[in-house]
């Protein structure tokens, strides 16, 4: 098994765990963590492509690495925003359930 | 490819971004002033870019730092970008003028001053992000623009800091993030297979390999989640109904269109032919379900803002008729009909943007004047706020697709294309949607035109100036009805290939 | 000059509508309402074959008149003017006279404009204006019931317009050189691949407007809810948008026997349905509404027979019939309004006698305008079955009108809604004017425009053929009434009750819909849906 295949399988496993967590865990914080796992899986995939050097025929393609770095920044910002919202929601309500009330309460 | 034109594209993104920087650096009052000062500049810029494209007949392009793709990043403005830049500038101008009194600069204490500051800063931020979406020429850059759009939109939902809106914002954020990850996954697959993410380079190479279809499917699904196409609309009603009116207008009119236009770019510009007609039909059917479901749900709402939000769920459905109709059911369909569907679909984007912005702002004024937005308590409204109710009605005409209005033009084009391409089922959905829209809008107008219930609390005064802004946008939606019913030459500029069904 | 008259017919009401933004103009609405339709009347009289095209910036709308359209336009303008006098007289007593006028003017502009529209876009625009602006007139009294009725009306109107829009799209496809002129697209219709769906949708769309069964349910509800003047204008003038629609859009030049026969059958069905259901109504306005359903059915039948025979000359006969109905039906609604707001205990003779003449005139009472209208459509209905059905429907109309007169006499005087004395005189004059014109105008049209001869109209054969259905109807009404065989009173009809039941199920389904929405909007469900969409898109793209 080549390193690229192993990374690819790992990426798939991370994506799977992330999706499972997002679907099944009701707590927003766990959802945020699951999202991070999901994102990690995808970034790993970019790493595989960088390794393979799909781009201009380099041994290690720099473009996916640049993409991953940008993606990490974006995902960090997303996590920060989500955590801020979760904290604020807990301050206001005491718990932070997602499906309760659902904006219908007056 | 003129250099001066390319410079304008950078300005279109950098001006609002600069505004954000100024606002963050100085805080408070300056944010509002900066945003208001940007309005005329942004409008002039959008007009200038559209004029350059129109007269030149070719798209404008700018390569950031002079690097050529795939290593560099390009900005590109074709006819579609020009139209979207224009409508964005117009709607944002309307929203900003409306919000001038909604988010005043001189609130007494610090916490109350925060919401206006956040609003004005994010208004500029969203403007820049939207322009980046309209101008991005590279799928990864578009991902970043899309994320900026989400990050700008989410705090607007929970501007009032109440638990319900916080929850709505969190749901919106989480679901949108899942959409982003799917999109990013697709981007990775495409890069792995093609070695480039530049839209023009992708379009030029063959992409019939299965990996492109899988990538496009993942990206499309992610974009649908951000567009809130039925059945992925979970976040939209509470988020759009819970946000302050000016923010709702921005979210419903423009933000959901960002991911939609990106899907259009993906299907028709970047990977034409990667997705077959069968999946285009699926998008159309989801759209039809959205039209019917959103309309029926809007009919059931007791509160005006929720009604308008569900109306957005329905109106988004119309957009997706663009895919099956611009694709064509058979290769034998003349390109003219597909072009008409293309123009009709984009016209629906534009008309809905203007009409829905007007409608949300009208709903906001109504809520402000009455102190609530329960439809059964609307008696006497037409007499107290004639201009607002009139504007609501005009915007409603466009949503119903009555002539003369932009909504009518869009609907007539889509209907014509669906008849000409013998895909009559979309025609049925379009007409059913019009019927439902008539139902939910007159359910509002009826009580509003009735006399006030005895003992009803007095209706607060709303300055005419603010009502006039809403009326202005509604009239604009109506004037779009003067657009001729034929494929738009402007929208055709830069469409390398008319969307043909390629043999797979 | 003549083109300017056509523009003025629409432009003047629209200009007054724009003027309604100003308080000063709105306050004098009572003055404008009767005057606004007069340019339309002038156009019908002075420019019956004019045409004019607007610049492309205004959608390139074309207006034109021909003799049959001018007939309908003239009669509608007269009625709008008289109803305007009546409305203006009653406006003074309202707390907010300014609210009524804008809706009135927009409906008026659409109602007159639709007779002149010569291209698809303009026709659709003006047809929508007359259909939807009527909403404001229907919900004028502001009650919850009126709002319900108004909502039903709007939904049906939009349904009809949806049919028409789709039909127009198909017509435009079949037309040579992309022309949107109605005459061109209709000429191309018989050979168009879209013939079957386009004709079906046209008949459905105009059928909604004409109140053809089963799309008639809005008529009895709205005419009873709207104020008298508005009911008069809607029932008399606005509904003729459907008649001009059939006139303009049916390819009468080409004989299409199947389509013609089907339309004629549907028309006669409505004609008799209206009589049967109308006889069971107690409110005179509802009786009149069912009579409208019946009369519009007769016009549809005439058009169907003409289409079957390929007889383009039938248009003018149908227009004459429609013009007569405009004045009679509008007038009778004014009569009901006067009777309902009287101060005396009994309905005055100045209401009853003319009402009896023109109501029975609608059944063909000799020497009235109605007899001429029937005479005009006689050539179209000449063959055995159709002629017999036509005469029987006249007998039915006679029964229905006698029933109406009986209900009118029995109408209780309502002291609360009594009309002030100052309003009484102009309102009564409007009514008397309408009834006089209902008798005289058809004579003038018959002799002057339709080319009929007085000798033929006054021949014993013609007199008898229009008299016997009236006598038959009267005998039946009296006989059945005496024998107690009249159907018992019951509001509405089967279709309306079925519709109400369906609406109830709709409400129940709506609750289920909300539960479905709540389920779909749970986070886990939506996530699964998202993945399913991604998988489906991929599978469909790979499988193709």
What's the whole-number mean pLDDT along residues B439-463? 84
Per-position b or e across B259-268, b if 16+ CB within 10 A of its CB: bbbbbbbbbb
**List of chains touching B (3+ CB pairs within 8 A):** A, C
pLDDT tier at A49 (50, 70, 90 boundaries)?
confident
Distance CA B257, CA B355 (A): 14
Query: Which residues in chain A touch residue C528, judged by CB atoms under 8 angstroms apart?
Result: 23
Please say whether the dihedral angle defined by the alpha carbons of residues B117, B119, B120 and B125, taken in this order, is positive or negative: positive
Query: How do residues C248-291 score in pLDDT, each as one tens digit?
Result: 999 988 889 999 999 999 999 999 999 999 999 999 999 999 99
Of C521, C522, C527, the CB nearest to A22: C527
Q: Nearest-CA distance from A71 to chain B in Å? A: 8
Say if residue A14 is preceded by a cis peptide, omega within 30 of 0.
no
Of B282, B383, B403, the CB nearest to C128: B403
State which residue of chain C sits closest to A104, comparing Cα positions: C518
Residue C147 has pLDDT above 50, yes or no: yes
Residue C456 has pLDDT above 70, yes or no: yes
Interface check for C517 against chain A (CB to CB < 8 A): the answer is: no
Domain-by-domain residue ranges, chain B? 1-136, 138-275, 299-499
State which residue of chain C sits closest to A97, comparing Cα positions: C523
> What's the count of helices (H) and strands (E) in chain A, helices before strands?
3, 0
Residue A104 has pLDDT above 90, yes or no: no
What percentage of chain B reaches a pLDDT higher than 70? Answer: 94
HSE at residue B271, side-chain half, CA atoms within 13 A, is 31
pLDDT at res. B501: 40
Give the residue, B1 or B161, on which the prediction is more confident: B161
Q: What 8-state DSSP symbol labels residue B76?
A: E
Domain-by-domain residue ranges, chain C? 2-492, 498-543
**Contacts for C108 with CB less than 8 Å, ≥ 6 apart:** C13, C36, C37, C80, C233
pLDDT tier at B332 (50, 70, 90 boundaries)?
low
What's the whole-number mean pLDDT along residues C135-141? 89
pLDDT at res. C165: 92
Q: Which residues pair with B73 in a beta bridge?
A: B64
Contact present, C153 and C145 (Cβ < 8 Å):
no
C344 φψ region: left (φ > 0), alpha (ψ -120 to 50), beta (else):
beta
Q: Nearest-CA distance from A23 to chain C in Å? A: 5
Measured at the CA of B462, the angle between CA B458 and CA B464, to 5 degrees, comes to 140
What's the whole-number mean pLDDT along residues C68-85? 95
Q: Kindly report the average pLDDT of chain B as a whole number.
A: 88
**Which of A23, A34, A38, A104 should we substitute to test contact with C (largest number of C Cβ atoms within 10 Å)?**
A23
Residue C382 has pLDDT above 80, yes or no: no
Distance CA C140, CA C133 (A): 12
**Which of A16, A85, A96 should we substitute to test contact with B (largest number of B Cβ atoms within 10 Å)?**
A85
**Which domains, and CATH codes, for chain A?**
3-93 (1.10.287.3510)
Query: How do residues B229-257 score in pLDDT, each as one tens digit?
Result: 989 999 999 999 999 999 999 999 999 99
What percentage of chain C reaches a pLDDT higher than 70? Answer: 99
Counting one residue from B and one from C, how many pairs have CB atoms under 8 Å apart? Answer: 164
Q: Nearest-CA distance from A15 to chain C in Å? A: 12
What's the whole-number mean pLDDT along residues B151-165? 90
Residue A35 has pLDDT above 70, yes or no: yes
pTM of the model: 0.92
Of B71, B155, B164, the CB nearest to A105: B164
Residue B503 has pLDDT above 50, yes or no: no
Q: Is A24 close to C524, i.e. CB distance below 8 A?
A: yes
What's the whole-number mean pLDDT along residues B70-74? 77
pLDDT at res. A105: 34
Query: How do residues C120-129 score in pLDDT, each as one tens digit?
Result: 989 999 999 9
Query: How do residues C310-340 score in pLDDT, each as one tens digit?
Result: 888 889 999 999 999 999 999 999 999 999 9
ipTM: 0.91
> Checking DSSP bridges between strand C51-53 and strand C62-64, what pairing results, if any?
antiparallel
- Of A68-77, B295-304, C192-201, C377-386, least confident by mean pLDDT is C377-386
Query: How do residues C200-223 score in pLDDT, each as one tens digit?
Result: 999 999 999 999 989 999 999 999
Residue C385 has pLDDT above 90, yes or no: no
| Nearest of C402, C413, C364 to residue C278 by alpha carbon | C402
What percentage of chain B reaches a pLDDT higher than 90? Answer: 56
Q: What 8-state DSSP symbol labels residue B252?
A: I
Q: Is C124 close to B383, i.e. CB distance below 8 A?
A: no
What is the longest distance spanned by two Cα atoms in chain B?
Answer: 71
Distance CA C215, CA C231 (A): 18
Query: How do residues C6-24 score in pLDDT, each as one tens digit?
Result: 999 999 999 999 988 888 8
pLDDT at res. C264: 94
Residue B32 has pLDDT above 70, yes or no: yes
pLDDT at res. A58: 57
pLDDT tier at A101 (50, 70, 90 boundaries)?
very low
pLDDT tier at C180 (50, 70, 90 boundaries)?
confident
What's the whole-number mean pLDDT along residues B186-210? 87
Of A35, A63, A88, the CB nearest to B177: A35
Q: Is B191 close to A49, i.e. CB distance below 8 A?
A: yes
Contact present, B311 and B437 (Cβ < 8 Å):
yes
pLDDT tier at A53 (50, 70, 90 boundaries)?
low
Q: Is C523 close to A98, i.e. CB distance below 8 A?
A: yes
Query: How do residues C486-521 score in pLDDT, each as one tens digit?
Result: 888 888 888 888 888 888 888 788 888 999 999 998
Query: Which residues in chain A touch residue B174, judged by CB atoms under 8 angstroms apart?
Result: 22, 28, 31-32, 35, 82, 98
Q: Nearest-CA distance from B234 to chain A in Å? A: 10
State which residue of chain B sits closest to A104, comparing Cα positions: B238
Q: Is B293 close to C510, i.e. CB distance below 8 A?
A: no
pLDDT at res. B162: 86
pLDDT at res. B1: 44
Of these ranges, B149-163, B350-364, C439-453, the one predicted with the greatest mean pLDDT is: B350-364
Distance CA B499, CA B482 (A): 26
| Cα-based distances in Å from C11 to B320, C5, C37, C84 | 39, 9, 10, 17
- Of B371-385, C83-97, C268-282, C364-378, least confident by mean pLDDT is C83-97
Q: Is C510 close to B300, i.e. CB distance below 8 A?
A: yes
Q: Is A89 close to B180, i.e. CB distance below 8 A?
A: no
What's the whole-number mean pLDDT along residues B383-409? 91
Burial class (CB in 10 A: 0-12, 13-18, 19+), A53: middle
Measured at the CA of B226, the angle between CA B393 and CA A85, to 5 degrees, comes to 100
State which residue of chain B sits closest to A67, comparing Cα positions: B140
Query: Which residues in chain A touch residue B167, judged by CB atoms under 8 angstroms apart?
Result: 89, 97-98, 100-103
Q: Is B232 close to C533, i.e. CB distance below 8 A?
A: yes
Give the alpha-carbon dihedral of B478, B481, B482, B485, to 10 degrees: 170
Q: Which residues pair with B44 in a beta bridge?
A: none
Of C518, C521, C524, the CB nearest to A23: C524
**List of chains touching A (3+ CB pairs within 8 A):** B, C
State which residue of chain C sits closest to B226, comparing Cα positions: C530
**Which of C514, C520, C523, C531 should we substitute to test contact with A (largest number of A Cβ atoms within 10 Å)?**
C523
| Nearest of C499, C500, C492 to residue C286 by alpha carbon | C492
Interface check for C523 against chain A (CB to CB < 8 A): the answer is: yes
Residue C459 CB: number of other CB atoms within 10 A? 13
Query: Which residues in chain B touch residue C56, judged by CB atoms under 8 angstroms apart?
Result: 484
pLDDT at res. A57: 55
B57 φψ region: left (φ > 0), alpha (ψ -120 to 50), beta (else):
left
Q: Is A19 close to C523, i.e. CB distance below 8 A?
A: no
For residue B76, which phi and psi values (nearest 5 degrees)? -145, 135
Query: Which residues in chain B touch residue A15, judged by CB atoms under 8 angstroms apart?
Result: 185
pLDDT at res. C392: 92
Distance CA B450, CA C136 (A): 10
Query: Which residues in chain C touch residue B404, judged by CB atoms under 8 angstroms apart?
Result: 59, 125
State which residue of chain A sits closest to B146, comparing Cα positions: A74
What's the whole-number mean pLDDT along residues B196-221? 89
Q: Is C523 close to A102, i.e. CB distance below 8 A?
A: no
| Nearest of B287, B281, B231, B252 to residue B433 by alpha carbon | B287
For residue B275, which phi and psi values (nearest 5 degrees)? -100, 130
pLDDT tier at B504 (50, 70, 90 boundaries)?
very low
Q: What 8-state DSSP symbol labels residue C313?
A: T
pLDDT tier at B478 (50, 70, 90 boundaries)?
very high
- Three-state DSSP class for residue C64: strand
Contact present, C493 and C286 (Cβ < 8 Å):
no
| Nearest of C289, C329, C323 to residue C153 by alpha carbon | C289
Q: Is C527 close to A99, i.e. CB distance below 8 A?
A: no
> What is the enclosing helix (H) or strand (E) of C63?
strand C62-64
**Which of C514, C518, C519, C524 should we substitute to test contact with A (largest number of A Cβ atoms within 10 Å)?**
C524
**List of chains touching C (3+ CB pairs within 8 A):** A, B
Q: Nearest-CA distance from B128 to chain C in Å? A: 28
pLDDT at res. B236: 94
- Of A53-57, C240-244, C370-374, least confident by mean pLDDT is A53-57
Contact present, C308 and C330 (Cβ < 8 Å):
no
**C405-408 contacts: CB < 8 A, separation 24 or more?**
C405/C352, C405/C355, C405/C356, C405/C359, C407/C281, C407/C282, C407/C283, C407/C284, C407/C287, C408/C284, C408/C335, C408/C336, C408/C339, C408/C347, C408/C351, C408/C352, C408/C355
pLDDT at res. C511: 87
| Cα-based distances in Å from B496 to B180, B200, B269, B501 | 27, 9, 7, 14
pLDDT at res. B447: 87
């Amino acid at each position: 098994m080549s390193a690229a295949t192993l990374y690819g399988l790992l990426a798939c496993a991370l994506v799977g765990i992330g999706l499972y967590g997002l679907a099944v865990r009701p707590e927003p914080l766990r959802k945020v963590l699951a999202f991070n796992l999901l994102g990690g899986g995808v970034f790993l995939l970019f790493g595989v492509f960088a390794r393979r050097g799909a781009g201009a025929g380099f041994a290690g393609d720099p473009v996916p690495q640049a993409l991953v770095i940008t993606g990490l920044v974006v995902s960090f910002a997303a996590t920060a925003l989500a955590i801020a919202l979760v904290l604020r929601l807990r301050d206001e309500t005491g718990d932070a359930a997602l499906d309760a009330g659902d904006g219908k309460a007056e | 490819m003129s250099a001066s034109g390319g410079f304008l594209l950078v300005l279109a993104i950098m001006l609002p971004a600069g505004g954000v920087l100024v606002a963050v650096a100085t805080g408070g009052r300056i944010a509002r002033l900066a945003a208001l000062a940007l309005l005329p500049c942004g409008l002039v810029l959008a007009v200038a870019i559209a004029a350059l494209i129109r007269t030149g007949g070719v798209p404008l392009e700018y390569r950031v730092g002079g690097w050529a793709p795939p290593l560099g990043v390009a900005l590109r403005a074709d006819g579609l970008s020009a139209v979207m830049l224009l409508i964005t500038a117009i709607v944002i101008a309307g929203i900003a003028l409306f919000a001038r009194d909604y988010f005043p600069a001189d609130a007494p204490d610090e916490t109350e001053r925060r919401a206006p500051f956040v609003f004005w800063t994010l208004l500029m931020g969203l403007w820049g992000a939207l322009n980046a979406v309209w101008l991005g020429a590279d799928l990864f850059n578009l991902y970043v623009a899309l994320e900026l759009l989400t990050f700008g939109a989410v705090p607007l939902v929970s501007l009032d800091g109440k638990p319900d809106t916080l929850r709505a914002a969190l749901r919106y954020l989480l679901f949108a993030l899942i959409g982003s990850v799917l999109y990013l996954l697709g981007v990775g697959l495409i890069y792995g297979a093609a070695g480039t993410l530049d839209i023009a380079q992708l379009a030029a190479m063959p992409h019939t390999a299965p990996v492109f279809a899988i990538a496009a499917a993942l990206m499309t699904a992610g974009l649908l989640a951000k567009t809130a196409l039925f059945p992925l609309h979970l976040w939209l009603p509470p988020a759009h109904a819970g946000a302050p009116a000016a923010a709702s207008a921005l979210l419903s009119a423009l933000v959901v269109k960002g991911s939609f236009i990106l899907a259009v770019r993906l299907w028709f510009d970047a990977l034409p032919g990667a997705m077959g007609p069968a999946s285009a039909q699926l998008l159309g059917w989801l759209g039809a379900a959205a039209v019917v479901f959103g309309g029926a749900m809007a009919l059931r709402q007791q509160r005006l803002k929720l009604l308008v939000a569900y109306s957005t769920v329905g109106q988004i459905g119309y957009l997706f008729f663009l895919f099956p109709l611009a694709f064509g059911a058979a290769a034998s369909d003349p390109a003219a009909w597909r072009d008409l569907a293309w123009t009709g679909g984009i016209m629906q984007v534009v008309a809905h943007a203007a009409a829905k912005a007007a409608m949300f702002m009208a709903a906001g004024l109504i809520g402000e004047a009455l102190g609530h937005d329960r439809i059964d308590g609307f008696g006497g409204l037409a007499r107290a706020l004639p201009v607002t109710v009139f504007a609501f009605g005009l915007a409603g005409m466009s949503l119903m697709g009555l002539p003369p209005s932009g909504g009518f033009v869009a609907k007539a084009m889509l209907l014509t294309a669906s008849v000409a391409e013998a895909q009559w089922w979309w025609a049925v959905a379009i007409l059913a949607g019009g019927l439902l829209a008539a139902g939910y809008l007159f359910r509002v107008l009826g009580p509003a035109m009735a006399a006030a219930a005895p003992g009803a609390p007095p209706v607060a005064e709303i300055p005419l100036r603010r009502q006039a802004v809403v009326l202005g946008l509604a009239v604009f939606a109506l004037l779009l009805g003067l657009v001729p019913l034929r494929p738009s030459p402007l929208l055709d500029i830069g469409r390398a290939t008319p969307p043909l069904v390629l043999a797979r | 000059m003549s083109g300017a008259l056509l523009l003025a017919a629409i432009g003047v009401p629209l200009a007054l509508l724009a003027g309604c933004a100003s308080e000063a103009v709105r306050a004098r609405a009572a003055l404008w309402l009767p005057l606004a339709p007069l340019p339309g009347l002038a156009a019908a009289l002075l420019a019956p074959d004019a045409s004019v095209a607007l610049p492309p910036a205004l959608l390139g709308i074309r207006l034109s008149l021909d003799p049959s359209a001018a007939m309908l336009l003239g009669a509608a303008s007269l009625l709008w003017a008289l109803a305007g006098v009546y409305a203006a007289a009653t406006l003074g007593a309202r707390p907010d006279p300014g609210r009524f006028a804008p809706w009135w003017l927009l409906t008026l502009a659409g109602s007159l404009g639709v007779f002149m529209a010569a291209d698809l876009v303009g026709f659709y625009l003006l047809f929508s204006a007359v259909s939807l602006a009527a909403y404001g007139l229907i919900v004028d009294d502001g009650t919850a019931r009126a709002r319900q009725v108004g909502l039903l009306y709007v939904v049906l109107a939009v349904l009809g317009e949806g049919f028409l829009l789709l039909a127009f799209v198909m017509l435009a496809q079949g037309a040579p050189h992309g022309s949107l002129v109605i005459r061109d697209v209709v000429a191309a219709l018989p050979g168009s691949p879209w013939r079957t769906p386009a004709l079906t949708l046209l008949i459905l769309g105009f059928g909604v407007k004409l109140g053809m069964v089963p799309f008639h349910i809005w008529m009895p509800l709205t005419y009873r809810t709207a104020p008298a003047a508005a009911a008069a204008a809607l029932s008399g003038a606005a509904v003729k948008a459907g008649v001009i629609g059939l006139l303009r859009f049916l390819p009468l030049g080409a004989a299409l026997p199947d389509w013609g026969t089907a339309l004629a059958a549907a028309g006669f069905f409505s004609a008799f349905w209206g009589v049967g259901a109308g006889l069971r109504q107690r409110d005179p306005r509802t009786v009149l509404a069912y009579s409208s359903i019946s009369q519009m059915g007769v016009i549809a039948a005439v058009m169907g027979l003409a289409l079957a025979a390929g007889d383009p000359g039938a248009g003018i006969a149908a227009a004459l019939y429609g013009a007569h109905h405009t004045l009679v039906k509008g007038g009778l609604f004014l009569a009901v309004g006067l009777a309902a707001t009287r101060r005396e205990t009994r309905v005055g003779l100045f209401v009853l006698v003319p009402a009896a003449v023109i109501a029975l005139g609608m059944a063909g009472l000799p020497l009235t305008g109605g007899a001429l209208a029937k005479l005009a459509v006689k050539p179209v209905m000449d063959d055995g079955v159709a002629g017999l059905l036509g005469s029987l429907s006249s007998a039915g109309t006679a029964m229905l009108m006698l029933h109406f007169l009986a209900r009118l006499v029995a109408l209780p005087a309502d002291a609360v809604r009594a009309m002030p004395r100052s309003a009484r005189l102009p309102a009564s004059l409007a009514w008397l004017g309408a009834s006089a014109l209902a008798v005289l105008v058809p004579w003038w049209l018959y002799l002057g425009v339709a080319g009929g001869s007085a000798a033929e109209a006054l021949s014993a054969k013609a007199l008898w053929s229009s008299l016997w259905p009236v006598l038959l109807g009267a005998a039946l009404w009296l006989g059945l009434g005496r024998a107690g065989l009249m159907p018992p009173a019951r509001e509405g009809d089967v279709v309306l009750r079925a519709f109400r039941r369906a609406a109830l199920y709709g409400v129940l389904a709506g609750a289920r819909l909300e539960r479905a929405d709540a389920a779909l909007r749970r986070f886990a469900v939506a996530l699964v849906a998202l993945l399913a969409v991604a998988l489906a898109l991929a599978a469909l793209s790979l499988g193709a």
